[in-house]
């Protein structure tokens, strides 16, 4: 039973990682859609170009998830996902024209195509069919699977869709209670990356809003999609994050710097202040959150609760603001004109910044929490990113941060797969016990999550993707353990 739970956890983590690729497309889509509007640049074709991405979100999710699940992130999996998606949706339209699985359909096909690629990419067929072997077989088997899905979902999806709709309507209609639960759960799921799964429901499935486009009625689903389509009731599930991400967490970073031991303060500031600026501008909060999530978990519970409270406050003030990527300054500026009471983000955010600063200072002192700069005794300085090279030399491995990260992950022989999320490395590994957390932190990691068997996450920051590529370049062929 425990093994099955572990496998399910690993699968959900992988799904969360895979969702990041299609989600990463949203900022450019939102930028085009927003700038093309009449109150901005008033360029119709630009707005329509952005809108086209939203209208094709299901197939985009199918392609992105398939790439995330496929070994080597091979394009054959994406092609297979596209084939599977058009086969499934076309078949369902014939069986029941009223059915529409939306983003869920894309995710299901994406997971299937990626899994089928991993299973059949090396398949050998009889000589007279050899041309269709290997990777060419994957789109074929995915197409057949999609026909089966169309038949099954013709019966299964209507009650499932009704259940999702009812649940979504309950969350939306439950007012402040639902908003608090959403904000609280969103932050609690962050450590494993599972918040992306919850986000997909809230942003792209819950709620309906009909608009007329090119003479046809189109239904938009989800808080994010509806907000940018002009639904005046949308935006509640995003507005509450702006005070937290633009003001609260940067203030928390300042509080942690101020509470660091004097001899460690410079190193702590180097890590936390850059993360604070990133959070304020872009809404990428993980570098700050992982800095105290495991070192001071009671503080993280307070942060999750304050996120839920922010949702409630913004709802009571009837603030509607949205974002394409996250609740940072850039998205705030772009959505300001189409939001409602968006100006209140600033005063509420400033108050939230003060609240976070003093709550964090008080909690750190009260419970003597080991936030950055307080982990070691007064004679031991905090190891910062600049020490990675020295650490690598001491350990006798080749120079450079990639080598230090590779050593910390247990060497190439311990890594099955390695991919990057927005701010973290995600690895499938052979032995969790080979993970050297001290080595990873010496290389510049903010935190390490390795409590799921066969899986490890290393939280770095926005440069995670670059570091991932660097590691892959120095990994020896055959997966030999780094020395």
Q: Could you give the residue numbers annotated as active site?
A: 421
Cα 426 versus chain centre, distance? 12
What residue ranges in 344-437 does DSSP mark as E strands? 415-420, 424-429
Q: Give residue for tokens 């999996």.
A: 77
The upper half-sphere exposure of residue 156, i.e. CA atoms within 13 Å in the direction of its Cβ, equals: 8
Sheet bearing 424-429, strands edge to edge = 415-420, 424-429, 455-459, 447-449
Measured distance CA(166)–CA(14) in Å, rounded: 28
Contact indicator for 65, 15 with CB cutoff of 8 Å = yes
| Closest listed residue to residue 116, CA positions, set 148, 90, 157 | 148
Query: What phi and psi, each to the nearest 5 degrees, are found at residue 371?
Result: -75, 170
Identify the three-state secondary structure at position 221: strand
Best CA proximity match to 251, nearest among 366, 354, 365: 354
Q: Tell me phi and psi for residue 339, to 5 degrees.
A: -85, 180
Distance CA 364, CA 359 (A): 8
Nearest CA to 21 out of 452, 422, 446, 308 is that of: 422
CB 237 within 8 A of CB 59: no
Classify residue 411 as left (phi > 0), alpha (psi -120 to 50) or beta.
left
Whole-number Å distance between alpha carbons of 423 and 289: 11
| Contacts with 411 (C-beta within 8 Å, 6 or more apart), sequence order | 434, 480, 481, 482, 483
CB 234 within 8 A of CB 202: no
Three-point CA angle 89, 91, 97, nearest 5° = 75
């Amino acid at each position: 039973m425990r093994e099955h739970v572990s496998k399910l956890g690993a699968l959900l983590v992988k799904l969360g990682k895979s969702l990041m690729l299609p989600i990463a497309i949203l900022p450019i889509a939102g930028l085009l859609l927003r700038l093309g509007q009449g109150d901005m640049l008033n360029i119709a074709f630009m707005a329509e170009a952005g809108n086209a991405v939203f209208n094709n979100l299901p197939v985009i999710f199918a392609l992105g998830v398939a790439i995330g699940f496929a070994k080597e992130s091979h394009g054959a999996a994406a092609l297979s996902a596209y084939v599977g998606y058009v086969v499934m949706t076309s078949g369902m339209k014939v069986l029941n024209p009223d059915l529409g699985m939306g983003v869920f359909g894309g995710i299901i096909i994406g997971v299937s195509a990626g899994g089928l690629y991993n299973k059949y990419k090396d398949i050998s067929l009889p000589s007279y069919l050899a041309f269709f072997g290997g990777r060419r077989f994957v789109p074929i088997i995915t197409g057949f699977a999609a026909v089966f899905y169309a038949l099954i979902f013709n019966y299964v999806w209507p009650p499932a869709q009704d259940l999702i709709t009812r649940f979504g309507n309950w969350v939306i209609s439950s007012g402040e209670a639902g908003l608090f639960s959403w904000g609280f759960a969103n932050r609690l799921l962050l450590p494993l990356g599972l918040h992306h799964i919850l986000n997909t429901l809230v942003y792209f499935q819950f709620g309906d809003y009909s608009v007329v486009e090119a003479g046809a009625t189109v239904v938009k689903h989800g808080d994010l999609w509806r907000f940018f389509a002009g639904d005046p009731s949308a935006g509640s599930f995003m507005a509450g994050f702006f005070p937290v991400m633009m003001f609260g967490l940067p203030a928390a970073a300042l509080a942690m710097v101020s509470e660091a031991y004097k001899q460690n303060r410079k190193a702590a500031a180097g890590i936390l202040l850059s993360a604070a600026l990133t959070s304020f501008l872009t809404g990428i909060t993980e570098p700050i959150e992982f800095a105290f999530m495991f070192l001071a978990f009671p503080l993280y519970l307070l942060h999750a609760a304050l996120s839920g409270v922010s949702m409630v406050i913004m709802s009571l003030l009837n603030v509607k603001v949205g974002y394409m990527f996250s609740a940072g300054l850039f998205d705030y500026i772009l959505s300001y004109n189409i939001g409602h009471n968006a100006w209140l983000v600033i005063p509420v955010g400033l108050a939230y910044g003060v609240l976070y600063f003093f709550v964090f200072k008080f909690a750190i002192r009260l419970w003597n929490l080991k936030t950055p700069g307080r982990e070691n005794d007064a004679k031991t300085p905090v190891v910062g990113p600049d020490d990675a090279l020295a650490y690598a030399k001491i350990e006798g491995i080749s120079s450079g941060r990639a080598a230090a990260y590779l050593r910390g992950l247990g060497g190439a022989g311990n890594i099955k797969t390695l991919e990057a999320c927005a701010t973290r490395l995600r690895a499938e590994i052979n032995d969790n016990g080979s993970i050297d957390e001290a080595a990873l932190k010496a290389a510049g990691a903010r935190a390490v999550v390795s409590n799921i068997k066969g899986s490890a996450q290393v939280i770095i920051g926005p440069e995670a993707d670059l570091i991932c590529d660097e590691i892959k370049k120095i990994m020896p062929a055959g997966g030999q353990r780094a020395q």
